[in-house]
């Protein structure tokens, strides 16, 4: 079986969603899978391809390139924690902080995501998805820690820290559009890196969209290197 049903996505969107699991497929193989999915009344298939399809080929199959998923990594074993200074303006999230600010930042963090880029993906579902993501992070269900930056009582920056296959993983990170250009993004990344090292992580990672050049530049500035690129397609069947 070269695909798997995604139960959470299916329930969330109200249509059957699958993920094609093979990173490389010949055109005939892809066509066969999509035909089979159509018979099974699948509405949406995600595919993280190791190669970019020609535009005409993707269009013929109803596919849209929605993300060049770019994975960055860093080996902490050759670093000293003192290299990563945690600014005193970076705070640990506490429940008294305004959730509306934080939810808005989470949504801003997804402005380049495939769920925002794909115009067939309902806008309200994109908003709900990122609100769910940040709230599950705040209650430590899918994150180990959350850092914030405030100006006055307003939260203007966030970063979530988690564990992904044993690696220290930056999940959501955002600085409010009205407060960018102050170096807050770098301060959040440096704080995350120091936290990962202090908690024994050997490798750090972060995944972003290839079209999000400010994020890519930030991670490279902070010492991460590109480890992998996947071409993410949505096929509406």
Same domain, 133 and 212: yes
Average pLDDT over residues 130-159: 97
Whether the pLDDT of residue 81 is over 80: the answer is: no
Question: Does some domain include residue 236?
Answer: no
Same domain, 13 and 124: no
Same domain, 163 and 220: yes
Whether the pLDDT of residue 58 is over 90: the answer is: no
**What tokens were used for 176?**
């409010």
pLDDT for res 227: 98
- Quick count: other Cβ atoms within 10 Å of Cβ 152? 6
Whether the pLDDT of residue 80 is over 90: the answer is: no
Check which CATH number belongs to the domain holding 173 and give it. Answer: 3.40.630.30
Same domain, 60 and 80: no
Question: Does some domain include residue 94?
Answer: yes
pLDDT band at 214, cuts 50/70/90?
Answer: very high
Same domain, 187 and 142: yes
Question: Does some domain include residue 149?
Answer: yes
Q: Does 40 or 54 have the greater pLDDT score?
A: 40
Average pLDDT over residues 145-164: 97
Give the C-alpha separation, 110 to 193, whole Å.
21
What are the phi and psi torsion angles at 212 (to 5°)? Answer: -85, 75
pLDDT for res 205: 98
pLDDT for res 201: 97
Same domain, 211 and 95: yes
Question: Does some domain include residue 181?
Answer: yes
Same domain, 105 and 165: yes
Same domain, 159 and 202: yes
Domain boundary among 68, 89, 106: 68
Range of the domain at 195: 72-228
Contact 169, 205 (CB under 8 A): yes
pLDDT band at 197, cuts 50/70/90?
Answer: very high
Whether the pLDDT of residue 1 is over 90: the answer is: no
pLDDT for res 94: 96
Same domain, 83 and 187: yes
Same domain, 190 and 96: yes
Contact 188, 90 (CB under 8 A): yes
**What tokens were used for 52?**
């970019």
pLDDT for res 55: 75
Same domain, 184 and 79: yes
Whether the pLDDT of residue 31 is over 90: the answer is: yes
Question: Does some domain include residue 111?
Answer: yes
Domain boundary among 36, 68, 100: 68
Share of the chain above pLDDT 70, in %: 100
Whether the pLDDT of residue 207 is over 80: the answer is: yes
Question: Does some domain include residue 237?
Answer: no
Same domain, 62 and 161: no
Question: Does some domain include residue 60?
Answer: yes
Contact 44, 62 (CB under 8 A): no
Average pLDDT over residues 80-86: 79
Domain boundary among 68, 83, 115: 68
Q: Number of structural domains, the chain?
A: 2
Average pLDDT over residues 106-131: 97
Question: Does some domain include residue 235?
Answer: no
pLDDT band at 173, cuts 50/70/90?
Answer: very high
């Amino acid at each position: 079986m070269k695909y798997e049903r995604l139960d959470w996505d299916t329930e969330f969107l109200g249509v059957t969603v699958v993920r094609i699991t093979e990173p490389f497929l010949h055109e005939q193989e892809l066509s066969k899978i999509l035909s089979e999915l159509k018979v099974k009344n699948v509405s949406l298939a995600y595919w993280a391809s190791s190669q970019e399809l020609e535009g005409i080929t993707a269009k013929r199959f109803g596919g849209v390139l929605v993300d060049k998923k770019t994975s960055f990594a860093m080996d902490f074993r050759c670093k000293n924690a003192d290299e990563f200074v945690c600014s005193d303006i970076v705070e640990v999230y506490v429940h008294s902080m305004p959730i509306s600010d934080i939810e808005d930042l989470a949504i801003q963090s997804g402005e380049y995501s495939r769920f925002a880029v794909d115009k067939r993906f309902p806008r309200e579902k994109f908003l709900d998805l990122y609100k769910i993501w940040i709230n599950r992070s705040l209650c430590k269900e899918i994150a180990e820690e959350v850092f914030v930056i405030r100006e006055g009582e307003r939260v203007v920056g966030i970063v979530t820290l988690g564990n992904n296959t044993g690696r220290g993983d930056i999940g959501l990170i955002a600085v409010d559009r009205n407060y960018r250009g102050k170096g807050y993004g770098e301060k959040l990344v440096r704080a995350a890196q120091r936290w990962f090292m202090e908690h024994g992580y050997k490798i750090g990672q972060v995944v972003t969209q290839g079209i999000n050049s400010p994020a890519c530049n930030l991670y490279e500035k902070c010492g991460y290197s590109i480890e992998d690129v996947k071409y993410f397609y949505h096929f509406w069947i």
